[in-house]
């Protein structure tokens, strides 16, 4: 084995070991989830202000990400740089807020300088710390132990596993808050109106469905040959069938046509009702477009009928509509 090959093998093993160390650090956090998560969620939701997240150095970078995740999932949050806080920025903290402070050592000087203000305002303090006996932990109202056995850095110096653990705990808290608030996909859209995140919840089925004269609808008692003609004319790959009262009873698709032709030698006298697919999948016009997409993917179909509360067809949504809108 050449020196180059040896280095490549060594680097591959090192990279895998880093992932192992960080993955194990996250898994061990599960053992430390207790009533602290319930208390933290209750404290934040009952507050009338915002969440102020603060941390220094690498913990600060993680804090910014936690604040961003909280804000995008229904919990207004801001990041406060602790070094700047003693030069006027601490004015961002109000008596109605909750503070989340991150420090692996729990002795970060810049963070400790904030404690008098936090205590004077009687602001709830949540600490993400690597040492539960630290000054920050002792001053906190709620403690999350995010300690790790070792850093992934072979020198044991660069924050790696510890920052990963803190970030994961922040995500856990944010998602618990999301769930407790009943934060919906529509709510998510309000904070993500642009980009790929928003596209999935930007549209309802009613926004994208085909309706009116373009809708391929016919009575279930028409001849099968007439159903084929409708599918050909409307170019949507299917026809929606209804009873005499206008309620949807079935559907015939391009795939059904092939199946029926294989089964029946003579189709001249076939009635569509006798060969249609009964009780097909449908969706409400108020449903999110992503729900229609999920239905198509699950059942390997390219279109779904849209019915009202009386089971009467009012539209059809096709995979092409979803593709054009950027949902699929």
Query: Is the model's pLDDT at 1 over the cut of 60?
Result: no
User: CB under 8 Å to 326, separation ≥6 — which residues?
Assistant: 196, 199
Residue range 122-135: mean pLDDT, rounded: 96
**DSSP calls for 199-217:** HHHH-BHHHH-B-GGGS-E
Distance CA 237, CA 318 (A): 9
Query: Is the model's pLDDT at 21 over the cut of 90?
Result: yes
Domain 205-325 has CATH 3.10.580.10: yes
Nearest to residue 144, comparing CAs of 39, 46, 24, 282? 39
Pick the CATH number of 13-183 from 3.40.50.720, 3.40.50.300, 3.60.15.10, 3.40.50.10490: 3.40.50.10490
**DSSP calls for 120-136:** HTT--EEEEES-TTSHH
Distance CA 59, CA 54 (A): 8
Q: So where are the chain's domains?
A: 13-183, 205-325
| pLDDT above 90 coverage of the chain, percent | 66
Query: Is the model's pLDDT at 170 over the cut of 60?
Result: yes
More confident residue, 173 or 185: 173
Please give the radius of gyration of the chain, using alpha carbons only, rounded to the nearest integer.
Answer: 29
Please indicate whether the domains covering 13-183 and 205-325 agree at the CATH topology level: no
User: CB under 8 Å to 251, separation ≥6 — which residues?
Assistant: 238, 239, 240, 241, 276, 277, 280, 305
**Per-residue model confidence as pLDDT tens digits over 239-281:** 999 999 999 999 999 888 998 998 888 888 899 999 999 989 9
The per-residue pLDDT of the chain, averaged, comes to 89
């Amino acid at each position: 084995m050449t020196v180059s090959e040896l280095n490549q093998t060594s680097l591959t093993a090192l990279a895998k070991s880093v992932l192992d160390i960080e993955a194990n650090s996250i898994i061990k956090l599960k053992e430390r989830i207790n009533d602290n998560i319930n208390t933290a969620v209750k404290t934040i939701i009952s507050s009338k202000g915002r969440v102020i997240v603060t941390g220094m150095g690498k913990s600060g970078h993680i804090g910014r990400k936690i604040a961003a995740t909280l804000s995008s999932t229904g919990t207004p949050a801001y990041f406060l740089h602790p070094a700047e806080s003693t030069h006027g920025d601490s004015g961002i903290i109000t008596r109605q807020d909750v503070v989340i402070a991150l420090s692996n050592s729990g002795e970060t000087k810049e963070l400790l300088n904030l404690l008098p203000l936090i205590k004077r305002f009687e602001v709830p303090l949540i600490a993400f710390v690597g040492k539960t006996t630290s000054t920050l932990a002792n001053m906190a109202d709620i403690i999350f132990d995010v300690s790790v056995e070792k850093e992934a850095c072979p020198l044991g110096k660069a924050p790696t596993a510890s920052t990963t653990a803190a970030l994961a705990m922040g995500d856990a808290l944010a998602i618990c808050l999301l769930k407790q608030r009943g934060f919906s996909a529509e709510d998510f859209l309000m904070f993500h109106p642009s980009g790929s995140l928003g596209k999935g919840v930007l549209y309802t089925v009613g926004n994208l469905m085909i309706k009116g004269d373009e809708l391929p609808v016919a009575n279930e008692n028409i001849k099968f040959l007439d159903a084929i003609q409708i599918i050909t004319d409307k170019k949507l790959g299917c026809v929606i069938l209804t009873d005499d009262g206008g309620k949807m009873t079935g559907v015939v698709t391009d795939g059904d046509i092939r199946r029926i032709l294989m089964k029946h030698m003579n189709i001249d006298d076939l009635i569509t009702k006798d060969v249609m697919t009964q009780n097909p999948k449908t969706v409400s016009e108020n449903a999110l477009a992503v729900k229609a997409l999920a239905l198509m993917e699950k059942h390997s179909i390219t279109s779904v009928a849209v019915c009202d509360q009386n089971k009467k067809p009012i539209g059809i949504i096709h995979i092409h509509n979803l593709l054009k809108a950027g949902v699929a």
